[in-house]
Amino acid sequence: MVEMTREDFEAAVSEGLDLVPADLAAQMDNVVVLVEDDAPADDPELLGLYEGVPLTERDHMWAAGALPDRITIFRNPTLAICDTREDVVEEVAITVVHEIAHHFGIDDDRLHELGWG
């Protein structure tokens, strides 16, 4: 387990986001990435969560003024499975790509097939 302040974790999340391929990041629409200390009580080992309307489900009726989709990275579960700061950055990047995939409408089964599950 890595010990890391919230500020240092947020910096690691920023570094992890920088590892997301630019062409993928450029296609994201109306998404915010947030950090929370703990995952929901019903899934305490969850590293990340996508909440929103996937691009594949948006149509002309989808409101232009809609609130942003949310990708939340959970600090404590991530730190619990990592041994170094570098591990944290790498795990955050993997988690963010996984959650971005949900933004693009890719489900967990397909992510597992692609090796991102």
User: Domain residue spans in the chain?
Assistant: 6-55+66-113
H or E segment to which residue 71 belongs = strand 69-74
Question: 34 with 73: CB under 8 angstroms?
Answer: yes
| Range among 17-21, 90-94, 112-116 with highest mean pLDDT value | 90-94
- Cα-to-chain-centroid distance, residue 20: 11
What is the pLDDT at residue 115? 77
pTM for the predicted model, two decimal places:
0.87
Please provide the average confidence, as pLDDT, over all residues in the chain: 89
Quick one: pLDDT at residue 85?
A: 92
Residue 9: CB atoms within 10 Å:
21
What percent of the chain is modeled with pLDDT above 70?
A: 95
Q: Is 80 exceeded by the pLDDT of residue 80?
A: yes
The span from the CA of 16 to the CA of 10, in Å, is 10
State the Cα–Cα distance between residues 100 and 73, nearest whole angstrom.
12
* φ/ψ of residue 109, rounded to 5: -60, -45
What letters, b where the CB count within 10 A reaches 16 and e where it falls short, cover 66-98?
A: eeebebbbbbebbbeebeebeebbbbbbebbbb
CATH no., domain 6-55+66-113: 3.30.2010.20
DSSP per residue, 14-40? HHHHHTS-HHHHHT--SEEEEEESS--
